[in-house]
Structures are given as C-alpha cells and as structure tokens.
Amino acid sequence: MNLSRFYAPLLAVGVVAIFAAVPVQSAGAQTTLNASGATFPAPLYNRWFVEYNKLHPDIQVNYQGVGSGQGIKDFTAGLTDFGASDAAMNDKELAAVTNGGVVLLPMTAGSIVISYNLPGVTAPIQLPREVYPAIFEGIITKWSDPKIAAANPGVAIPDLPITVASRADGSGTTFNFSSHLAAISPDFATKLGKPGKQVSFPGVAGKGNAGVAALIKLTPGTIGYVEYGYAKSNGLPMATLQNKAGKFVAPTPDSGAAALASVELPANLRVFITDPAGDGSYPIVTYTWWLVHAKYDKDGEAATIKALATWCLTDGQKLSDSLGYLPLPPAVVTKVQAAAATIQ
C-alpha cells in the first residue's frame, strides 16, 4: 500500500511525460495522403512512398493494398485521397464519382506469367498460342498432350494430369489475363463466358498471387498465372509464350517494354493491351493506374499529389525494374505527366 502510494505520483509523471513527448515528434507540418487499391503494384508503390518520404520528410503516403475493386470503392466514397486499380475504372464507375471527375494515370506496368510445376523439367517450356488458352479453358487436360510435346521437342515432360490454379478473389490480374485469353481464343466465350475479375477457370483457386503460387508448388502438374515480379522474386518457372507475330517470347523487362511500346495510349489514358503486335513483345502485359480527382478542395493537396506523381513518373521509374515491374516508355511518361498537370 505504502509503496504504491509512493510510486503513484512517479507513475503519473511518467505517463504525462510520454503523452507530452508524442506531439513533439509529430509537430512538424505533416501532410498525410491516404490511398488504397491494387495489390499487384503495392510493393513498388510502398517503395516509392518510402523513398519519397526520405526526400520530403513532411509528406507521408499510406498505401493499403486492398485490391482494385476495394480501391475504387474507397476512392469513390471519398475515404482516400487517391486510389489505384489494375483495371482502371469502367464508365459506370467513373460516372459514380461525383465531385469534378477522375484523372486516370498509368503509373507502372507489369507482365503476367504462366508458371507451372513439372518435376524434372528445368528449361522454360514453350506454350504455343493455341495451347495455353486451351489449357486454361479445360480443353487440354494432360501434360502428355501431343500439342505440348510438339512445341517442346527433346523435353521429357512428365505424364501428369493438368491442374489449373487460378485466383479465388476478384483480381485485376485475372481481368488482364482472361482478357488476353479471350482476345486470342475463340473458345473462351463458350467455355468460360466473359473475361473479368473473377473467371471460373477449371481446377483449384487460391487467394492472391501468394495463394496461386502456393497451389502451383504444392501439386506436380499444376499450372497457373501470377505476376512477373512475384514469380521472379519467388523463383517460379515461367513459360515462354507465342505472341501475335508467332514468335516465342520469354517474360523479361525488355519483352514487356516492347509490348507497351506497341500500343498508343488514347486521350483518357485507359488502354488494355490484350494482344500486342511486334516480334519481341511479350503477349500478356498491363498498365496499372492511379485514380486521382480532377479537383481537390483542400489547399495544397493538388500540388502535393502532382509533385508526388511527377517524382514517381521520373525518378520512381528507376526502381521498377529491380522489383519486377516494367518502367514506362518515355513517350508514355510524357503523356501521363501532361495529364497529371491538369489536376487542380
């Protein structure tokens, strides 16, 4: 009793000191931007925002990788200062944003790769244009299929049933992957319906890139689609795919950049590259967008976001490659910067 009476004032002083100390640390003129959206570019965005904070300690960006759909919802509801989405926003979603319209800014791009688990196969397998859609549509169900063997002479592909692994959650990656398959395969509509964020592929499904990658590693004979950056950092095998020009192209930063360069950005900066032309183009690439208000009410917020976007489009692009994303071609950067400059 006596002891506690003795210590109580000390304790009180301590508590007061702690609370007093906290505001001192955050007393500077801090600007915090909140953003949420796509998980696909989240590692790059978070890196950008950390680096930007080092250069501008007064600006802090909190980005939550909650998925493109949720990112659009949060942005539309005004919960975030800007959003991010792998599928941009469709016309209906754009119409739902009330105050002053939306500017879509492509900030980075990435490839989607087909990964697989084939014990004993070390070199990347080659998948022709008519074969990989048929696998994901459930038409080709065995690795011993003669069409696969014909494309991979001299490779001893084990005789396993094919298990397709896809995304269980709605995903921009699924949207872009299925859009590509639908563009090159006439069977897609009859087998799987419309391409979109959730497609009922045959086989099993897991949550996120990590879930799909885990499914691929788990069972021999499994094939699935994941982002290039994720596959690269986890050492997953990546198939070489046949592009529109008929060439087999491995997913690399160069082949991805070639695909980006093959498509002209329209005025609203929303374009889906479903089947890029050119000999060196990797066939499945996608931009990913920031969703930014055309007008900001708060003083200085527009300027802050403009400066942030400009840095990400210039110095930020140098970080893309090391994290497995595609640096935007210079022509694209110029266009996006012009669009960012219109924010008020």
Which residues ranging from 193 to 252 are in contact with other proteins (CB under 8 A)? 193-200, 202-207, 214-215, 218-219, 222
Least separation, in Å, of the C-beta of 196 and other proteins?
4
Least separation, in Å, of the C-beta of 222 and other proteins?
7
Which residue from 108, 111, 110 is spatially nearest to 238, judged by alpha carbons? 111
Can residue 169 be called a binding residue for other proteins (CB under 8 A)?
yes
Written as one letter, the residue type at 149 is A
Which residues ranging from 311 to 340 are in contact with other proteins (CB under 8 A)? none
Give the gyration radius of the chain's Cα atoms. 24
Identity of the residue, 217 or 247, whose beta carbon is nearer to other proteins in the bound complex: 217
d(CA 165, CA 223): 6
Least separation, in Å, of the C-beta of 116 and other proteins?
13
Can residue 180 be called a binding residue for other proteins (CB under 8 A)?
no
Q: How far is CA 301 from CA 15, 200, 339, in A?
A: 36, 42, 16
How many residues touch other proteins under the rule CB under 8 A: the total is 32
Q: Kindly tell me which residue out of 163, 243, 255, 286 binds other proteins, with binding defined by CB under 8 A.
A: 163
Least separation, in Å, of the C-beta of 225 and other proteins?
15
Which residue from 249, 205, 197, 199 is spatially nearest to 228, judged by alpha carbons? 249
Written as one letter, the residue type at 197 is K
Identity of the residue, 162 or 332, whose beta carbon is nearer to other proteins in the bound complex: 162
x/- mask, other proteins, residues 91-130, rule CB under 8 A, reads ----------------------------------------
x/- mask, other proteins, residues 41-70, rule CB under 8 A, reads -------------------------xxxxx
Query: Which parts of this chain interact with other proteins (CB under 8 A)?
Result: 66-70, 72-73, 161, 163, 168-171, 193-200, 202-207, 214-215, 218-219, 222
